[in-house]
Amino acid sequence: MSIQSIRVGVIGAGGISHVHLRTLTNLPGIEVIAIADVVRSNAQTRAEQFNIPTIFEDYHDLLALDEIEAVHVCTFNQAHRAPTVDALRAGKHVLVEKPMAATLVDATEMVRTARQTGKLLMCALKTRYSDDIMAAKRIIESGDLGEIYYAETVAARRRGIPGGSFVRQASAGIGATADIGVYSLDTALHLMGHPTPVSVSAITTNVIGKTHQPPTGAGWRWTAESLEVEEFGVAWIRFATGAVLVLKTTWAMHLDDIGDTFFLGPKAGLRLTPELKVYRDEWGYLVDIAPQVKPPPDVELFRREIDDFYKAIREGRPAPIAPEGVLLTNVIIDGIMASAQQGGREVAITVPALD
């Protein structure tokens, strides 16, 4: 039985759009018919690479096409809100790149608009589709750990400041915390069942990027003058349940490793990195259990994520990654920045009302 074709538009023709388009063009029943970018030559390049028939400089022209059912927002962080909100109001489903937005205010408007319009809004967090994370979720939901009371989550590079739009305040808004940290933060919240965060204490810095050059032979290219966001952040996050989560994220450091991602419960503990392993007592002995699962390559994660988004559209299901849960990452990141500006003082945070 043939799959009904869904016509798609892409807003933003930067680097991440290539990943989305490569996946879209290999999924059955998906037809990308338009792409928009404020730099016409960027849209033209992607159109030629992926045989997209129509290009625009103004994304509003793309949204005016009635035949488009879904839109991928692949712009830089600070430009997520406007095209997402406009697309939802135009009756399109939206898959927006991570992070949800550069600010809590923008993210909140996006989620509210999705609820008001009844259209799907999904944030592209490919790690949700990793075999090890899905297995960890299954283990935790079984109750074998008990209620998690402490966890640490880590995303780190020794020297990997990306440069370009990622490091400028006007385009990114936030640095490593929103770029790679949002993956580990979302993973932790997802595995913990999205508890309500109530306070944050955090520090951030960009001292390495401001004082060092990219290492010889590295693919990363930044300049001290262009680096306007944090390259390093550590946060202590408290939840209404009494649990605590420590987030550690960095683009650059003088170390090869700053720890693993793990979760502690009264019945057992679970380590997610470098490999999935459960620690508990059995038969009066200490026992380590290592489920035989490995994270697949990124290309497969993108395929699973995007395919699930379109299955939800076809089947009339809610967004596979609920935007209300992802909004908590923005609540916490907003608190991280507020605390860091106050020298690490603990600040109260509140989840905004959506109705």
Q: What is the DSSP string of 142-195?
A: TTSS-S--EEEEEEE-SB----GGGG-TTTTSS-HHHHTHHHHHHHHHHHHT-P
**255 closest CA partner among 158, 153, 180, 181:** 158
Tens of pLDDT, residues 133-163 = 999 999 999 999 999 999 999 999 999 999 8
Which residue, of 126, 157, 178, is where some domain finishes? 126
- The CATH number of whichever domain residue 89 belongs to comes to 3.40.50.720
The answer to whether residues 92 and 149 belong to one domain is no
The answer to whether residues 103 and 164 belong to one domain is no
Domain that holds residue 180: 128-298+330-348
Q: What number of residues does the chain have?
A: 355
Which residue, of 126, 153, 179, is where some domain finishes? 126
Query: Which residues face 10 on adjacent strands?
Result: 35, 72
Tens of pLDDT, residues 23-62 = 999 999 999 999 999 999 999 999 999 999 999 999 999 9
Which residue, of 126, 152, 186, is where some domain finishes? 126
How many folded domains does the chain comprise?
A: 2
- Determine the pLDDT at residue 134: 98
**In the predicted model, what is the mean pLDDT of residues 123-131?**
98
Q: Is the pLDDT of residue 290 over 70?
A: yes
Tens of pLDDT, residues 263-273 = 999 999 999 99
Number of neighbours of residue 256 by Cβ within 10 angstroms = 7
Query: Which residues face 192 on adjacent strands?
Result: none
Query: Which residues face 153 on adjacent strands?
Result: 247
Interatomic CA distance for residues 231 and 189, integer angstroms = 22
Peptide bond into 274 cis (omega under 30): yes
Residue partners of 220: CB distance under 8 A and separation at least 6? 159, 160, 161, 162, 163, 214
- The CATH number of whichever domain residue 147 belongs to comes to 3.30.360.10
The answer to whether residues 271 and 164 belong to one domain is yes
Q: Is the pLDDT of residue 3 over 90?
A: no
Per-residue pLDDT band at 219 (split at 50, 70, 90): confident
Residue where the block lists tokens 């035949």: 67
**88 closest CA partner among 109, 113, 124:** 113
The answer to whether residues 122 and 166 belong to one domain is no
Quickly list DSSP for 13-35: -SHHHHHHHHHHTTSTTEEEEEE
The answer to whether residues 186 and 116 belong to one domain is no
The answer to whether residues 115 and 137 belong to one domain is no
The answer to whether residues 209 and 114 belong to one domain is no
The answer to whether residues 98 and 192 belong to one domain is no
Question: Beta-strand (E) ranges in 206-345?
Answer: 232-239, 244-250, 262-264, 268-271, 277-282, 285-289
Radius of gyration of the chain (CA): 21
**Residue 220 lies inside a defined structural domain of this protein:** yes
